[in-house]
Structure formats: C-alpha cells, structure tokens
Amino acid sequence: MTAAEIFAIDVAGVTKRFGDKTVVNAIDLQVRRGEIYGFLGPNGSGKTTFIRMLCGLLTPDGGTGTCLGYDLRTQQADIKKHVGYMTQKFSYYEDLSIRENLDFIARIYGVPDRADAVQRSLRRLGLENRSAQLAGQLSGGWKQRLALAACLIHSPQLLLLDEPTAGVDPKARREFWDEIHQLAADGLTVLITTHYMDAAERCHRLAYLAYGNLLTRGSLADVLAAAQLTTWTVTGPDLRQLARELRGHPGVEQVVAFGNTLHVSGRDATRLDAVIAAVRTPRHQWARIPSSLEDVFISLMETAEDNFK
Amino acid sequence: MSNRRFTFHRLWAIVLKEFIQMKRDRVTFAMMVGIPLMQLMLFGFAINADPKHLPAVVRSADQGPFARTFVSALQHSDYFRFVGEADTEAAAHDLLREGTVQFVINIPADFSRQLLRGERPVILLEADATDPAASGPALAAVRALADTVLNRDLTGPLARLRGRAGPVEFRVHAHYNPENITQYNIVPGLMGVVLTMTMVIITGLAITRERERGTMENLLATPVRPFEVMVGKILPYIVVGYIQVTLILLAAHFIFEVPMIGSLPLLYAVALLFIGANLAVGITFSTLAKNQLQAVQMAFFFFLPSVLLTGFMFPFRGMPEWAQWVGTCLPNTHFLRIVRGILLKGNGLAEIAPELWPLLLFVVVAMSVGVKRYRQTLD
Ligand SMILES: Nc1ncnc2c1ncn2[C@@H]1O[C@H](COP(=O)(O)OP(=O)(O)OP(=O)(O)O)[C@@H](O)[C@H]1O
Ligand SMILES: [Mg+2]
C-alpha cells in the first residue's frame, strides 16, 4: 500500500503566518483512513487555520503534504471535491430553507440522484417535516446538524469538522458521536476539533495544539502516559486556604477545584509527594488518582505558555 | 481533472440560489422596480411640465405696428413674463448672465420696413440654455406666435408676404449650452442611468455579502469555480434589468409620448450587452471591496461620471476633452447614443455598430478583472 492509500492526511512542516505572527508552526500530522482524529487546543491555538489549509482555503507559507493523496498546494481543486468541511461558524444560507440549502450543495457537487440524496439526508437528520423552514430560524444545535448533513451529502472521503458540537445538548452530542463512529466504520476519515474532554475521549487518536505548536499526539493512553503527570485529590474543610498554601510550592503545577475536591498535579512525582507530605494533616482525605485528559491538557498549556509566549 | 473546467451544474446551482435569495429579499426587489419609476417621475415630469412665465426682456429698436403687435402677443402668451428694460445689448446680456431673465428678444430697428418689403427680418432670440428643458418649448412658442400673429396682420395686398417660409426669420442663439436637450432625449437616456445605478449596486453587494455573512468560507470550500460564481450571480439580475427596461419603455410611450421609430427587438438585444456590462462592473467591484459599504461607495463612484460625463446631463460635445475621454470609457455613453439612435432616429444595426464594440470590450475587460481578482482562498 502506498502512503496515500494508508493516510488520508499526510503533511509535514505545515506553517502559516499572518503578518509576522506564526499561527501554525511546522506541524507534522498523519491521519489514517477510517480514523477519527481529535484536534484540541486552547482558543487561538491555530486549529481552524490548520484545517483551512487542509481543505485549500488558505495557502500554507511552508510545508508539504497530501490530503487524500492530492497535493496540498497544487491540487486544491481535487481536494475540495472529496472533502466535507464543516465550518466553526454556521456558514450556510440563512435565507434559504433547509431543503434549499441541501439542494444547493448537492447541485454544486453534482451529486447523482440529487432529489433522492437530499431526501435521505433530511430523513437521517429527522428534519423531513421541517424542510421548508428557513435555516436562519433554526436553533444553534439544529444548525449544527444541518451543517453536518450538508457536508456529508456528496459522500466525501474526509470530514473536517471544526467544533461541530459547540452548543449542542448532551443527548444530541451523543447521537452525533454515534453517527461519526458509524461513518468511520464505513471508511470515512474524520478530523474534528473540540474543547470537550468527553468528545476527545471518543476519538481514536488525539493531537494537542498550543500557540501553533503541536505539543502531543497519539491515542488517549499514549497522551496520558506521555504526560507523566501525577494527580492527587483532596477533600475536607478549608480547601481554599489549602489551595493557596499549595500553589506557592515548587513542584505543584496545578491546583484546581472540582466542587468539594481539589485536584493537585505535577510532573515531578517525588517533589509533589514531598510537598503533600509536608502539608498533609488528618483533617483532609488525600488520594492518588489517574490524571484526567483535562489535567494533562491544562498542564501542557501552562508549559506551552512558558515556552512560546 | 474535469474539476478545473467550467461546469453547467455548478453554474445553475448558483443561479437558482440567487433567484431564491432575490425572491426572499423583498425590499431589494421592490427597490429594483421602484428606483426606475421614481427616477422617471422625477426627471420625466420635471421636464415635461410645460414651463410658463419664463422671465424675458424685449429689446425692440422698432416702434412700428408689426413690432408692437408681436410684442404684445408675446406678453399675452403665458410663456413669458417680461421684466425690466434693456436699452443696450450689454444690459440685456447682464440680465441673462445673472439669471434675471432667461430670454432676450431682439427686434431690429427696421423690422416693420423689412417685413413690408418682404425681406424676412431677423428676430434674434437669445436664450439661457442651461436649463434647456425649460427653454425648448418656449422657443417653439415664439416661432409659432410670430407666424400666427403676423400672418393675421398681413392681409389684403400684404398677404403675399406670408410665404411658405414665414414672414420673419428667427435666429436662436443659445447661450451656455449649445445643444438643446429635450424630454425626448432625457427619457430614453434615463434607461441607461437607471440600469447603471441599480445593476452596479446590486451585484456590487453580491460577493461582499457572502463574505460578510460568512457563507463565503463554505462556498470557497466547495469545488465551485470563480467564473461559475460570477456568471451565476449575474444571470438572475439580467431578468431584473429587462423588467426595468420594459418599465421605462412603457412609461416613455404612454406617459411621455416619446417617439419610438426604430426596432424594439434590436433595442432589447443591445440592452443585454449593456446590462451585462454593468453587472460585470458590479461583480468586479464586489471582488475588490472589503465589505458591503465599500462596494456601495465604489458603485457610487462609477455612477456619478455615468450620469455627468456621458451626455445624459450635459451635451457630450460641450464637455472638455478630458471629460469626453472619460465618457468614452463608460458604457453608458455608448448606450445612450444607441437608445436615442434607435428610438428617435430609427437607427438600425449598421448605424449603432460603432457603439456596440466598445460595450463588448467593456464587458470582457470588466469580467476578466473580476475573475482575476476573485480570491479563491481566505488569505
Ligand atoms: N485571517 C486572519 N488574519 C490574521 N490573523 C488571523 C486570521 N485568522 C486567524 N488569525 C489568528 O490566528 C490565530 C489562530 O486562530 P484560529 O482561528 O486558527 O484558532 P483556533 O484554534 O481555531 O481558536 P478557537 O478555538 O477559538 O476556534 C489567532 O490568534 C487568530 O487571531
Ligand atoms: Mg477555531
């Protein structure tokens, strides 16, 4: 098998600058066909910019690579034909009805059996009886669903989803993920950005971006293991006082309150244990827990702030 | 690689979408029909209103009976209101320049004598033609009056003086504006002006609107080609342009009674080229402008010379050379000549051909700039 048959996305050193600001800095990324790849990172870290370069909306300032086997720089027109891109901000026509929007996209892509495809798409969305409603009148969550349906209508091989579940209720989110997994099982490749940790945990693999730099990537287990982060929880009285005390110590990198517990994390386990031994009293219950993805990401972000800012 | 070429299904997708959006946007559509009607009423009626009581002064060097009859007839026709006196030519010209009077009617010293000798005395009419629409009918009235009044007095043996050419000769000296534009000129001319205004603005908004609403990101992510987007956005408005042409022609015929000598099918065919030219300009502005406001400003920038320098407002040959050059580059200049030529002079294809190719050239250039400037990425 050639690289293009294995990887839907295969890029190296992709860079984008706006003025003298480097927004995406030499990113290498390989996404296998049929994989669901999660793309995470704080606001302004360059996720949207990276995706736009993948689908030919922005020209990279540096780097090379292929998307579905087509060259990122010279074959943008071919890439566009086989990619479904769902923008972060709703970008279908608010003054067109749901059906008219789907019909428009289907015509643009020259979908065979157009009327049928539109009808199927409406049925799958559960929007059959609201198809005449203007897209602008839909609630935020329904707009997201319409957008997903629209970018699937031409049966793309690669889906680029930019925060598709922002503002979507938990039940709809679960249905959305079920659908994504179904599509991936059928061979579709999905690159998806999100800020939700539960979403990240449903991806086959993850990448974490901060200030345009790719900080970590791999499966959930890989990412957690690579972070080598130690986390303790503590419950008991006067947690605010305790948190203030802990934050001053070197070796303690994060102190985060979750309801009535504090999460205390650090990458250097021995130093963290030493600090905790020093402040530990019988008034509080201490326990070591496996670090969560969120703990890991916040830790990564804080390190990134020190390194790149 | 079929993707790199123009495809009809993508063009048609854009056309249908634009039609639906146009249908939903009632306000804009109403404006497209309302603007031509409003301009017709404003320009058309302001011109059509029969001007009365125009200030004038008579410099009569003859006190003979014929001169007096003539002057008194002028006073009784309500075209003129005689103000003041002007004993010298200089005084009369001052009045004219100040705008105190619009006409100076000069009757020569030996008017009556020449008339009786059958020498066709010359009455010099000096008109301030900066407002030609107002002076035109008045000038016509003077001629008619002279004929009827004097012919009435030329009875008995003098009847032989009536002649076919009329008893007196008129010389009209139009000051400040050598060509007299009449309503016949204005109403057909309005067609070009209305189309320029509405067509450029409406397509000027076409692409900037997609940018501002964020729908451009989606459109650019699809395989649609620049040429397909631009033509797809132009085609629906050609229909709108034809509605406007029809409205203006109907008004010209039924309200303003403008003669229509030439071939209407020819006019409709040529209008396509002109509508296309303006739509191409608009869509090109749309690719250049950063937002809708800028697009409207550009449209206005184009609209002003299209009104002022094309022979619509001022006679083309009366303009300084640089203005004529600018005018020659504007499609409205050529379209005005074509419309006036077809409607008023009955011109055919052969006569209007010299004005056709500049229009065609304009369309090609404007479209090329637009396609070239159409940004296929968000960079
Ligand atoms: N067209 C542009 N011109 C200049 N700067 C830009 C442009 N687009 C994005 N940026 C900058 O690039 C950086 C990355 O933006 P980007 O939208 O890619 O971030 P993101 O990771 O998608 O953020 P979010 O999670 O908020 O969506 C930001 O600092 C942004 O201000
Ligand atoms: Mg983003």
Looking at the structure, tell me whether residues A163 and A258 fall in a common domain.
no
Which portions of chain B are predicted below pLDDT 50? Answer: 1-2, 48-49, 176-181
DSSP string spanning B212-259? HHTHHHHHHHSS--HHHHHHHHHHHHHHHHHHHHHHHHHHHHHTS---
Q: How far apart are CA B166 and CA B161, in angstroms?
A: 8
Q: pLDDT tens, A23-82?
A: 999 999 999 999 999 999 989 999 999 999 998 899 999 999 999 999 998 998 899 999
For A20, the domain range is: 3-219
Looking at the structure, tell me whether residues A238 and A200 fall in a common domain.
no
Looking at the structure, tell me whether residues A189 and A280 fall in a common domain.
no
Q: Is residue B245 part of a domain?
A: yes
Among A139, A194, A185, CA closest to A165: A194
Looking at the structure, tell me whether residues B263 and B349 fall in a common domain.
yes
pLDDT for B1: 40
Q: Is residue B47 part of a domain?
A: no
Amino acid at A190: V
> In ligand 1, which atom is closest to the CA atom of A41?
21
Minimal Cβ distance to B12: which of A56, A100, A107 = A107
Q: Is residue B207 part of a domain?
A: yes
Q: Is residue A296 part of a domain?
A: no
Amino acid at B146: A
Of B151, B175, B199, the residue at which a domain comes to its end is B175
Looking at the structure, tell me whether residues B66 and B167 fall in a common domain.
yes
Rg (CA), chain A: 22
Q: Do B221 and A57 touch (CB under 8 A)?
A: yes
Backbone angles phi, psi at A231, to 5 degrees: -130, 135
Of A219, A253, A271, the residue at which a domain comes to its end is A219
Q: Is residue B355 part of a domain?
A: yes
Q: Is residue B368 part of a domain?
A: yes
Q: How far apart are CA B83 and CA B80, in angstroms?
A: 9
> In ligand 1, which atom is closest to the CA atom of A209?
21
Q: Is the pLDDT of residue A94 over 90?
A: yes
Residue B29 with chain A: CB contacts under 8 Å: none
Looking at the structure, tell me whether residues B146 and B248 fall in a common domain.
no
Looking at the structure, tell me whether residues B164 and B192 fall in a common domain.
no
Closest residue to atom 4 of ligand 1, CA basis:
A18
Instruction: Name the residue with higher pLDDT: A38 or A125.
Output: A38
pLDDT for B55: 80
Q: Do B377 and A58 touch (CB under 8 A)?
A: yes
Of B175, B202, B236, the residue at which a domain comes to its end is B175
- Evaluate whether A109 touches B223 at the Cβ level (below 8 Å): yes
Average of per-residue pLDDT across A88-116: 95
By 3-state DSSP, what share of chain A in percent is helix, strand and coil, each rounded to 5?
40, 30, 30
Structural domains in chain A (count): 2
For B122, the domain range is: 54-175
| CB count in 10 Å sphere of residue B265 | 8
Q: Do A93 and B379 touch (CB under 8 A)?
A: no
pLDDT for A47: 95
pLDDT for B99: 65
Could you give the 3-state DSSP secondary structure of residue A71? strand
Q: Is residue B328 part of a domain?
A: yes
Looking at the structure, tell me whether residues B251 and B302 fall in a common domain.
yes
Structural domains in chain B (count): 2
Q: Is residue A64 part of a domain?
A: yes
Minimal Cβ distance to A77: which of B13, B216, B223 = B223
Q: Do B223 and A95 touch (CB under 8 A)?
A: no
A45 lines ligand 1 (CB under 6 A): yes
Q: How far apart are CA B64 and CA B162, in angstroms?
A: 18
pLDDT for B49: 46
CA of A32 to nearest chain B CA: how many angstroms apart?
22
Looking at the structure, tell me whether residues A177 and A245 fall in a common domain.
no
Contact residues for B311 (Cβ-Cβ < 8 A; gap 6+): B189, B327, B333, B336, B337
Looking at the structure, tell me whether residues A213 and A237 fall in a common domain.
no
Q: Is residue A262 part of a domain?
A: yes
Of A219, A254, A271, the residue at which a domain comes to its end is A219
Mean pLDDT of chain A: 89
CA of B377 to nearest chain A CA: how many angstroms apart?
5
Q: pLDDT tens, B234-273?
A: 899 999 999 999 988 998 888 877 778 889 999 999 999 9
Domain with B130 in it: what CATH number? 3.40.1710.10
Q: pLDDT tens, B62-90?
A: 777 777 887 787 777 777 788 766 778 78
In DSSP terms, which residues pair with B174 in a beta bridge?
B127
Q: How far apart are CA B93 and CA A34, in angstroms?
A: 91
- Evaluate whether B145 touches B96 at the Cβ level (below 8 Å): no
Closest residue to atom 18 of ligand 1, CA basis:
A46
Looking at the structure, tell me whether residues A57 and A194 fall in a common domain.
yes
Distance from Cα A46 to the centre of ligand 2, integer Å: 7
Looking at the structure, tell me whether residues A280 and A143 fall in a common domain.
no
Looking at the structure, tell me whether residues B219 and B155 fall in a common domain.
no
B interface mutation test: which of A86, A107, A161 has the most B CBs within 10 A?
A: A107
Q: How far apart are CA A211 and CA B8, in angstroms?
A: 43
Looking at the structure, tell me whether residues A243 and A158 fall in a common domain.
no
Q: Is residue B35 part of a domain?
A: no
Of B156, B175, B194, the residue at which a domain comes to its end is B175
pLDDT for A121: 92
Looking at the structure, tell me whether residues B262 and B169 fall in a common domain.
no
Closest alpha carbon within chain A to B379: A58
Instruction: Name the residue with higher pLDDT: A168 or A120.
Output: A120
Looking at the structure, tell me whether residues A181 and A261 fall in a common domain.
no
Q: Is residue A201 part of a domain?
A: yes
Q: Is residue B27 part of a domain?
A: no
Domain with A237 in it: what CATH number? 3.30.70.330
Domain with A11 in it: what CATH number? 3.40.50.300
